Structure 1
């Protein structure tokens, strides 16, 4: 049990490191929080909540993996190396794919609800 608790401690230490040092991770935390607030305001269905939570998790996981890859790349290749640059670029590309997926999912979920709310407000 002690070993398990230590591993959770390391995991939370990693989350804290990412939140303290990575502006993009903080941006995605804020964006995810806004999406959660909107989810409560618009009373999402269970399926919509699942898609929303999956989207948020995928983006945060991609950001964490990107941070770890960039940190490791900087460790093993402290000077400029073209292949190290490719590694970092591909990891960043994974974040972009995840973020686009989350954005499209958010549009599909929230845009009809926002339009309906605006129509009700205008009427």
Structure 2
């Protein structure tokens, strides 16, 4: 791969992420939650292993949200009609985000509950 093509691929990827942040309310909600959770991690001085789990979890939720957005846009591009398969694809992609967001909350509780309990 030529150097220019590699640079272009990174530029396209960053632009795609920027569009998702700019245009998608749910991505901004995930970012807000990530900022709060990272702030809590700093306040409670969580371990390196806990940071690893937390950052992997945050990255997974945001990545799934980006994939969900891509699925929605491709479905919208391919049909303007209400089609059961289009709805199915969109609902399954959204469900994947919801499922992992729920798991992320559970992970957050598992990581932070000992620190919060210690504070009281």
- TM category (shorter chain) comes to over 0.9
TM-score by length of 1: 0.93
For 1:44, the equivalent position in structure 2 comes to 46
Q: Which runs of 5+ in 1 are unaligned?
A: none
Aligned Cα RMSD in Å? 0.8
CA displacement 1:28-64 (0-9 Å, x = unmatched): 0110111111111111111101110111011001100
Q: Which runs of 5+ in 2 are unaligned?
A: none
What is the aligned counterpart of 1:76 among 68, 75, 78? 78
Number of aligned pairs? 118
TM-score by length of 2: 0.95
For 1:8, the equivalent position in structure 2 comes to 10
Q: CA deviation at 1:20?
A: 1.0
For 2:109, the equivalent position in structure 1 comes to 107
What is the aligned counterpart of 1:23 among 8, 22, 25? 25
CA displacement 1:41-100 (0-9 Å, x = unmatched): 111111101110111011001100000000000000111111100000000000011101
Tell me which stretches of 4 or more aligned residues in structure 1 moved more than 2 Å: none
Q: CA deviation at 1:2?
A: 1.5
